[in-house]
């Protein structure tokens, strides 16, 4: 066991295994509203997002939003907001999480084109900040407190 792992676990961090994909992304499994899904970890995404097509899967109620999304080659995309949801990632939990809903078709098309699996959404900096995240790239692990 690495000394980083020992130190963080002693400080109350949860260790989350990450899967490194063919597209050079880290993927992880998370539960939103107690429903499991696959997510990309994206340190550059300001908010945790779920695709419109996965909203019903996670029991999300989207409301109109004036915020526009951009990223992964797309800009000015319409979004909705789903208020006060719970998320659990391998034992780490938080409630009252607001999620951004938007069209992830372009993301999933890129993943499939590179023989990777589709994802339900993106874990963004809001979760990383809230969980005081530490990413161990060498050992493919995310730590959240």
pTM: 0.88
pLDDT interval class at 83 (50, 70, 90) = very high
- Residue-wise over 56-94: b if at least 16 C-beta within 10 A, else e? ebbebebeebeeebebbeeeeeebbbbeebebbbeebee
Superfamily name and number for 22-138: Acid Proteases (2.40.70.10)
Q: Dump pLDDT digits (tens) for 13-67.
A: 999 999 999 889 999 999 999 999 999 999 999 999 999 999 999 999 988 876 6
**Boundaries of every domain in the chain:** 22-138
Distance between CA atoms of 57 and 112, rounded to whole angstroms?
20
Token digits of residue 74:
């797309």
């Amino acid at each position: 066991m690495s000394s980083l792992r020992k130190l963080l676990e002693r400080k109350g961090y949860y260790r989350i295994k990450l899967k490194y994909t063919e597209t050079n992304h880290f993927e992880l499994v998370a539960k939103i509203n107690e429903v499991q899904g696959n997510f990309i970890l994206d340190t550059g995404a300001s908010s945790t997002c779920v695709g419109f097509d996965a909203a019903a899967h996670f029991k999300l109620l989207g409301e109109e939003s004036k915020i526009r999304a951009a990223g992964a080659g797309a800009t000015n995309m319409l979004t909705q907001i789903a208020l006060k949801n719970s998320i659990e990632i391998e034992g780490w939990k938080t409630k009252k999480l607001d999620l951004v809903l938007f069209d992830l078709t372009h993301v999933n098309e890129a993943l499939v084109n590179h023989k990777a699996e589709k994802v339900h959404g993106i874990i963004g900096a809001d979760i990383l900040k809230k969980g005081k995240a530490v990413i161990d790239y060498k050992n493919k692990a995310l730590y959240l407190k």
